[in-house]
Amino acid sequence: MQKSKVKKNIQGSVMDKIRKDHISMRPRIYFIIGSFLFAAGLFFAIIMAVFFVNVAVFRFSGHSPFVFLCMGRPGLGPFISSVPWLSLLVSVLGMTSGLLILKRYDFSYKNNYLLIVIGLVAMVLTSGFILSTLRFNEKISEEKFLRPFYRQKYLSSGWVIGKVEDTEADFMKVVTPGGKHVSILIDEDTEFFPGEDIEVGDTVYVVGEWEGDKFKATKVTERKQGNFLRMQKEKRRSKSFF
């Protein structure tokens, strides 16, 4: 008896709301726009992820922060400060939001979601890598709103990256890709990695501290397979940085 009373109440209450127009069906267009926005959001998130993976790879290949890691602990700070974190963060955000949107689609639970995640990440990384090898970056890095993402940092309070112009027993002169000339002081405490055979024209990564307008080196390493040509192209682009 009680059961039928409850049943009647739900039915009556729902139909009463419908009859009195307290509730109404959302129009069809609402769902069409919703689907379109989700598809657009998914597309935009993936494009954003691919683009920023490309920016990160482009910047890594221009001046690799990993070279600093060869210097051990003193290289850790310079490494952290020269990694393109913003690009990496935006690409991770793009991938995450893409995956969250994908979860709304039926195929995300009808298939193995882990495989979908791996597939999407692999696709984004591969596309980003391929894009970074095209000349496309050199063109678009001139765009005002994209410049901050492409701006390379070649010297800071604790490190300098540059091409050797002159070298003596107690100093080196380097020029950064931004065009700044820096005198590097070398003493008996300066460590060279892997050796001291640095010549004019080599690209060096120097860790140390500023003493006035000169930079006192504590560790110096040479980038054997650096892409200095690319770094020099940066010179024109990053004038404003220095």
Partner 1 sequence: MSISVNLSDEELVDFVRKNDKESYIEVVRRYQEKLLRYVNYIIRDENQSDDIVQNTFIKAYKNLHGFNTKRKFSSWIYRIAHNEAVNIVRKKKNEISLEKNSWIGEKFAGKEDIIGDFEKKEAVKMIKLSLNRLPIKYRSPLTLFFLEEKSYEEISDILRIPKGTVGTRIGRGKGLLKKICRNQK
Q: Does 133 bind partner 1 (CB under 8 A)?
A: no
* DSSP 8-state class, residue 27: P
Per CB under 8 A, the segment of 3-11, 57-65, 78-86, 182-190 that binds partner 1 is 3-11
**Which lies closer to partner 1 via its Cβ, residue 25 or residue 229?**
25
Q: Which residues of 42-74 are buried (b: 16+ CB within 10 A; e: fewer)?
A: beebbebbbbbbbbbbbbbebbbbebbeebeeb
Q: Is 20 in the site for partner 1 (CB under 8 A)?
A: no
Return the number of the residue (5 or 73) whose C-beta is nearest partner 1.
5
Beta strands in the chain (DSSP E): 159-167, 171-175, 181-185, 191-193, 203-211, 214-223
104-109 long-range CB contacts below 8 Å, 24 or more apart? 104/38
Query: Structure tokens of 24?
Result: 């109404």
Q: State the maximum Cα–Cα separation within the chain, in Å, rounded to a whole number.
A: 102
Q: Cα torsion for 143, 83, 62, 88, to the nearest 10°?
A: -50
The reply on whether position 28 binds partner 1 by CB under 8 A is: yes
Quote the DSSP letter at residue 170.
Answer: S
Is the CB of 11 or the CB of 96 nearer to partner 1? 11
Pick the closer one to partner 1 by CB: 113 or 241: 113
19 makes contact with partner 1 (CB under 8 A): yes
How far apart, in whole angstroms, are the C-alpha atoms of residue 162 and residue 180? 9
Task: Please report how close the Cβ of residue 34 comes to partner 1 at its closest, in angstroms.
Answer: 8
Please identify, using beta-carbon distances, which residue of 119 and 148 lies nearer to partner 1. 119
- Is residue 100 at the binding interface for partner 1, with CB under 8 A as the rule? no
107 near partner 1 (CB under 8 A)? no
Q: Which stretch binds partner 1 (CB under 8 A): 23-31, 48-56, 74-82, 178-186?
A: 23-31
9: contact with partner 1 by CB under 8 A:
yes
Stretch that binds partner 1, among 6-14, 132-140, 177-185, 201-209 (CB under 8 A): 6-14
| Contact between residue 207 and residue 68 where contact means Cβ atoms under 8 Å apart | yes
**Amino acid at position 61, single letter:** S
Q: Residues in the site for partner 1, rule: CB under 8 A? A: 6-7, 9-11, 13-15, 17-19, 23-28, 30-31, 34, 106, 109-113
